[in-house]
């Protein structure tokens, strides 16, 4: 695992760090509520009131130049794109600053090929994220980024090649980002120079359309009992609050929420985590005392579990939606059955809290779509399903975001 410090030059970058593609900032890593964060977590990323931190138009021109054709093919291949898809893909990305030391799958450019390696990016590094909040490009050098696939609890970070151990590094606060379960229309950032100022940035823009808000303003926790985990996550994000769940991995989006801590009506600062208790959905064929894990409802190329190491030497085929170019239409889809599980059915016995069958609140933020559903494997036969209540944990970040505005046509950077 290679450490990559803010402002440090890469040994084998796709483009010269001095070419003006991006500029890192001096940001102290923030304590994270959990090592696993969803891409739509309010305040996960930062912004600044200064000029754009990433020059996406310049990166697009570099990759289109004939003399960089081989490099462009390697760059596109690392992200499972065709070279003709590069412009549209870049137009859908959004520049942000990391507010946490973050694990990613980085790439060097050596001998005409993209060479992947696991990396820990320091807070303050400027990156481009896609429409599910996933790191996609390191701005200063143009290196493509993919999701980290490994055990974040067993990393060994190498501080060398000019990347000295930075002040504030804490292995226990390292973050892995997982895709949001829906397409984002706006990203709620925190101004790294003024934490009391929040910034809403439309996806695919570089800051010219930002709107500011007060992160200190409190907002009420919405009623979430009876909704699915995916719906609850979206509703909380729409209020500027973050979702939390005590476990090694996030539950499937279709799991039913049985409680929240704090409860509905509590007024919290922007970015505060609300811990959810859920009961996992089961298929009609029966249930077992230990419900099977249908796997994350996230795209296939995202890490299946942060505790299951898997570090391929080359990018996997069939990229997830979070890594593909955004839809040119940008038209939100109607809410559908949340991904990650079969439609909910009541448990066969009363050993666990029965999930409500008629309550399904719509997602709070307008203009979002759910990820394509995945079919959960049938549970083992046996006893009733058991719920997975979370303990009462609530961390406070800095401070709300407003619901996403009506959709606008996609802009193209030139």
* Tens digits of residue pLDDT in 159-198: 988 888 999 899 989 999 999 989 999 999 999 999 999 9
What tokens appear for 86 in the block?
A: 């590069």
Q: Are 257 and 263 in contact (CB under 8 A)?
A: no
CA 86 to chain centre: 21
Give the pLDDT confidence score for residue 313 in this predicted structure: 38
Strand partners, 121: 4, 102
Across-strand partners of 3?
120
pLDDT (0 to 100) of residue 398: 39
Question: What pLDDT does residue 219 have?
Answer: 95
Residue 52 falls in which region: left (phi positive, over 0), alpha (psi -120 to 50) or beta: beta
Using 50, 70 and 90 to split pLDDT, how confident is the model at 114? Answer: very high
> Could you give the count of Cα atoms lying within 13 Å of 223 in the half-sphere of its Cβ?
5
pLDDT of residue 152: 85
pLDDT at 48: 85
CA atoms 207, 74, 20, 39: torsion sign: positive
* Rounded Cα–Cα distance for residues 65 and 68 (Å): 5
Task: Identify the band that residue 320 occupies on the pLDDT scale cut at 50, 70 and 90.
Answer: very low
Residue reference for tokens 């996992």: 280
The number of angstroms, rounded, from the C-alpha of 101 to the middle of its chain's C-alpha atoms is 14
Tens of pLDDT, residue by residue over 5-17, are 999 998 899 999 9
Token readout for 377 is 């494997």
256-261 sheet: strands from edge to edge: 242-244, 273-279, 256-261
The reply to whether omega before 368 is within 30° of 0 (cis) is no
pTM of the predicted structure, to 2 decimals: 0.69
Q: The tokens 């290196």 sit on which residue?
A: 143
Of residues 210, 178, 234, 202, the one with CA closest to residue 93: 202
Lowest mean pLDDT among 53-67, 71-85, 273-287, 306-320: 306-320
Token pair recorded at residue 403: 């619901």
């Amino acid at each position: 695992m290679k450490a990559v410090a803010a402002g440090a030059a890469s040994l084998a970058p796709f483009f010269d760090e001095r070419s003006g593609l991006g500029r890192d900032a001096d940001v102290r890593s923030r304590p994270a509520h959990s090592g696993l964060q969803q891409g739509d977590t309010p305040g996960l990323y930062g912004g600044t009131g200064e000029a754009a931190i990433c020059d996406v138009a310049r990166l697009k021109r570099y990759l289109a130049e004939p003399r960089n054709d081989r490099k462009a093919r390697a760059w596109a291949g690392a992200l499972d794109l065709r070279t003709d898809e590069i412009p549209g893909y870049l137009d859908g990305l959004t520049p942000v600053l990391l507010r946490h030391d973050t694990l990613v799958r980085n790439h060097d450019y050596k001998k005409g090929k993209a060479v992947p390696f696991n990396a820990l990016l320091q807070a303050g590094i400027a990156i481009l994220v896609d429409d599910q909040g996933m790191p996609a490009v390191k701005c200063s050098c143009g290196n493509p980024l993919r999701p980290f696939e490994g055990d974040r609890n067993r990393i060994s970070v190498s501080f060398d090649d000019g990347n000295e151990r930075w002040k504030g590094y804490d292995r226990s606060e390292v973050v892995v980002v997982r895709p949001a379960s829906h397409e984002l229309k706006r990203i709620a950032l925190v101004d790294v120079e003024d934490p009391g100022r929040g910034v809403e940035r439309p996806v695919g823009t570089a800051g010219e359309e930002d709107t500011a808000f007060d992160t200190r303003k409190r907002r009420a926790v919405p009623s979430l009992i009876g909704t699915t985990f995916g719906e609850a996550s979206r509703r909380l994000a729409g209020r500027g609050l973050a979702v939390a769940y005590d476990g090694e991995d996030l539950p499937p989006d279709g799991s039913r929420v049985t409680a929240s801590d704090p409860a509905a009506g509590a007024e919290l600062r922007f970015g505060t985590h609300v811990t959810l208790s859920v009961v996992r959905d089961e298929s009609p064929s029966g249930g077992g005392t230990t419900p099977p894990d249908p796997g994350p409802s996230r795209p296939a190329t995202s890490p299946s579990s942060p505790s299951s190491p898997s570090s391929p030497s080359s990018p996997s085929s069939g990229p997830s939606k979070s890594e593909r170019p955004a839809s040119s239409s940008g038209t939100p889809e109607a809410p559908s059955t949340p991904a990650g599980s079969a439609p909910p059915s009541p448990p066969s016995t009363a050993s666990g809290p029965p999930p409500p069958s008629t309550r399904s609140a719509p997602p709070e933020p307008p203009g979002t779509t759910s990820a394509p559903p995945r079919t959960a494997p049938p549970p083992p036969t046996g006893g009733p399903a058991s719920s997975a209540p979370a303990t009462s944990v609530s961390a406070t970040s800095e401070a709300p975001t407003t619901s996403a505005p009506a959709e606008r046509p996609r802009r193209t950077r030139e």
